[in-house]
Amino acid sequence: MPGLMACRAEFGPSQPFKGAKITGSLHMTIQTAVLIETLTALGAEVRWCSCNIFSTHDHAAAAIARDSAAVFAWKGETLQEYWWCTEIALDWGSTGGPDLIVDDGGDATLLIHEGVKAEEADPKKYTRMKERLVGVSEETTTGVKRLYQMETNGSLLFPAINVNDSVTKSKFDKLYGCRHSLPDGLMRATDVMISGKVAVVCGYGDVGKGCAAALKQAGARVIVTEIDPICALQALMEGLQVLTLEDVVSEADIFVTTTGNKDIIMVDHMRKMKNNAIVCNIGHFDNEIDMHGLETYPGVKRITIKPQTDRWVFPETNTCIIVLAEGRLMNLGCATGHPSFVMSCSFTNQVIAQLELWKERATGKYEKKVYVLPKHLDEKVAALHLGKLGAKLTKLTKDQADYIGVPVEGPYKPPHYRY
């Protein structure tokens, strides 16, 4: 993870996080372990929980709990245990709470906001946390949507940096990470041969693009469902079909939700699927697939094939579907998620965002709004990873830089540039 190693080399000697208390709510994987070790190497005290009940690598959690930080996470948590872990990771005893939050999906941020609302009549625990908090850096689309909603309605309690929309996060973690980890999760869970299958990808954003590319490269015939005409046109230009779920529900072998929205595949869709169709989610929460409707469907039978791989049998037809990771993130529930190199890009953005919030905590630079990292830092994250892949950058001359109106050392693109 060259970006994180570079952060340690550059910032470690100055201990910029000395005195900072950081709570993380992010998948407790081996890659996240390196992020935690980086934060502690820069002087922070850290408490951590996972943002998904199935995504924890127990050996990574144990190693970090032994050596670096307090960790409250294990694979296969119940929902009650999940929220207990989140709450205890936010609890720093008499100091009240963390200074900074590293979030993925926004649950830690949401818990504080909901806690403050509940305590308005009697301010105590969460209000003290709110008053101490310097800010949060958010990892993923779902959490960012929550932050922008809070900013719009005026309820955001502290500054937030949107790491998700850094180019070196969204165009790498989502696209290339999912292109790697979707087929990995499918293979480990089912050992299905993808070649020759009909696969439906619900959503063609950055995650959907990576998933569709992986399935197409593996030999599947890929069909995309989309609400956005621009994304739909992109899919068509890549040689994919764009149809509605209702058009293809009885035809496809594999269904993947990637939207970050709810109620994408409903139980009525699942009833109409062919026998042994595979249904999985790589978006975020488990409400993309109507798991509640499936679990409460009259007479439905659940057969666990192995952990996070379940066959659901419908009584009227005796046909079944295979649901992965109980509708949660299948690449983390059934496999180990994205590879380390691409997560280094994402987590380097997190470290830089946390440093920026902490460094500017007394200046008033950041208000109770959502911010993105500036372009020069995005380019820096990319540059830190080039050497490991044997890349050499061409250098602009001063005359060339003046001709196109950019600094010799960058940034080279305007903020609105679409990569």
Residue ranges for the known binding site for substrate are 29, 104, 139, 169, 173
Q: Which residues are annotated as a binding site?
A: 29, 104, 139-142, 169, 173, 205-210, 226, 282-284, 331, 338
Is the Cβ–Cβ distance between 231 and 255 less than 8 Å? no
Is the Cβ–Cβ distance between 169 and 346 less than 8 Å? yes
What tokens were used for 233? 């046109």
CA distances (Å), 51 to each of 44, 48, 84, 147, in order? 21, 10, 12, 16
Q: Which residues are annotated as a binding site for NAD(+)?
A: 140-142, 205-210, 226, 282-284, 331, 338
Is the Cβ–Cβ distance between 303 and 279 less than 8 Å? no
Considering only CA atoms, which of 108, 81, 88, 84 is closest in space to residue 26? Answer: 108
DSSP 156: -
Q: How far is CA 37 from the centre of its chain?
A: 20
Cβ neighbors of 367 (< 8 A, separation 6 or more) are 159
CA distances (Å), 66 to each of 50, 61, 186, 212, in order? 17, 9, 33, 40
The 3-state DSSP class for residue 280 equals strand
